[in-house]
Amino acid sequence: MEHRHKVFPIQVIVPHTSNPNSFRLNESGLHSVLGHSAIANKKVVIVSVAGATRKGKSFLLNFFLEYLYALQNSQQNDIQLEWLDEAVQLQGFHWRSGAKRDTVGIWLWGEPIMIEAANGEKYAIVLMDCQGITLENAQSSNQCSSIFALSTLLSCIQCYNIVDVIQEDSLQNLSLFVEYGRLFLNEAQQFGKPFQNLVFMVRDHKSPEEFPFGAEGGEAYFEQVLENCPDSLEELKVVKDNLRECFEQIFCYLLPHPGQKVADRNSFKGYVKDIRPMFREEVKKMISSLLNPHAIKPKIVNGKEVTCKKMIEYIRECARLFYKNDNPAPRSILNAHAQLLCIESAIEAKTAYCRGMDRATSAPRMLSEKKLLEAHIKHGITALNIYDKCPKIGSGEVRTENLARLQEDINAELEKYKRFNEAKRVNSCASAMLACGDSVLF
């Protein structure tokens, strides 16, 4: 447990100083969280909390940390885990060493927490805090929806933190990725749904007699929100009609007020005993139902479960999309996914080519130029066939560009094999001459 006190959140998506509406990826920060060789092949579960600023996201994430570390330390698949002792002081996401709390961006907990899922496999759970989203301010609405959309793409559990009631603008914020989701469902249906879990976390819920706290009350409440949602605004109608198709699961939890001590910023020091017991109980139920070893599922991209190593590539590709000022068009998001598929297939294709050529040129004797070219054509065709099996999503342009790059790569490899083959001629001559010389000497 002590070890965790040395861990901090790390900002991985950082706004540019000159233009706060555009973001850059903090590569070294990302590597420090996901780049260790020991976890490279472990599947990753990204849990994000997003929503307006100063609405208790970090506070709640500290409960997530408590639960996950307790689960990690318990070394067993125990759903009845005892956690959140009264004496505990919540900490973790409040420590933003050096950086201002208002900084817009995405923060990751400094290390993945390794949890054994019910199937016996160890997953790397990474908590993500999306900060600085000010929904009230029209100027920053771009920023807000970019961070929100980016964190939804990256996570497999997106927790949408909302205070009091789910209003129309909260749903409107979902429109970018619902638009993308529709495109994905049309053009990449072989991969299933585009997103995994969306969790509405409604804080300070005020009418428990109508909708009780917790998941069941939340479900009924969410149904009602969708029902009452007006069809007059096209954007909202699209969200309403398509949200359920885009996510594998949607949950809604209604949480009580945490008590005056928590709401009073100055006096609250994070002690669990100072938090209203009813809030503690509801949060405990919510977190253990979302993150228990039976519930956690790895992040899926293009239909495949993602490892920590692959997640780095995925985050890089998604961050590139949001690098520019505006929100990316849904088609660009789809193309980014196509790009990942193409890169993966091109690597596989090139590896197959090189393996074949290595075998063909493995003899110590030089190959004739004709034989070398025959091998090149044979293994080149194998490589192109492998590339051609790449699932076809997004625009053909992405596939064509990557095919051209693959062909260039293969031609560059061929040049290497030619040089390697030529070197054998020189070696053969040298040894022949040596042999000749030797015979003269004797």
Binding site for ligand GDP (CB under 6 A): 53-59, 203-204, 257-258, 262-263, 265, 268
Chain residue at closest Cβ approach to ligand GDP: 56
CB of 16 to ligand GDP, least distance (A): 22
User: Closer CB to ligand GDP, residue 102 or residue 374?
Assistant: 102
CB of 204 to ligand GDP, least distance (A): 5
Who contacts 64 (Cβ-Cβ below 8 Å, separation ≥6)? 47, 49, 127, 287, 291
CB of 253 to ligand GDP, least distance (A): 12
> How many whole angstroms separate alpha carbon 34 and alpha carbon 313?
11
Buried b (16+ CB within 10 A) or exposed e, 196-222: bbbbbbbbbbeeeeebebbbebbbebb
- Which residue bears the tokens 């001629």? 425
User: Closer CB to ligand GDP, residue 257 or residue 418?
Assistant: 257
User: Closer CB to ligand GDP, residue 57 or residue 299?
Assistant: 57
User: Closer CB to ligand GDP, residue 52 or residue 70?
Assistant: 52
Task: State CA 60 to chain mean position distance.
Answer: 20
CB of 404 to ligand GDP, least distance (A): 46
CA-atom Rg of the chain in angstroms: 27
CB of 63 to ligand GDP, least distance (A): 10
User: Closer CB to ligand GDP, residue 262 or residue 390?
Assistant: 262
User: Closer CB to ligand GDP, residue 84 or residue 246?
Assistant: 84
> How many whole angstroms separate alpha carbon 322 and alpha carbon 24?
8
Looking at the DSSP bridge assignments, the partners of residue 159 are: 49, 199
> How many whole angstroms separate alpha carbon 61 and alpha carbon 141?
24
| Beta strand 9-15 pairing with 157-163 | unpaired
CB of 250 to ligand GDP, least distance (A): 21
Torsion angle in degrees (nearest 10) through CA of 266, 269, 274, 280: 110
User: Closer CB to ligand GDP, residue 218 or residue 330?
Assistant: 218
| Beta strand 43-51 pairing with 157-163 | parallel
CB of 58 to ligand GDP, least distance (A): 3
User: Closer CB to ligand GDP, residue 286 or residue 406?
Assistant: 286
CB of 259 to ligand GDP, least distance (A): 9
User: Closer CB to ligand GDP, residue 102 or residue 408?
Assistant: 102
CB of 48 to ligand GDP, least distance (A): 13
Looking at the DSSP bridge assignments, the partners of residue 434 are: none
Alpha carbons within 13 angstroms on the beta-carbon side of residue 13 total 34
> How many whole angstroms separate alpha carbon 204 and alpha carbon 221?
14
The H or E element spanning position 386 is helix 369-388
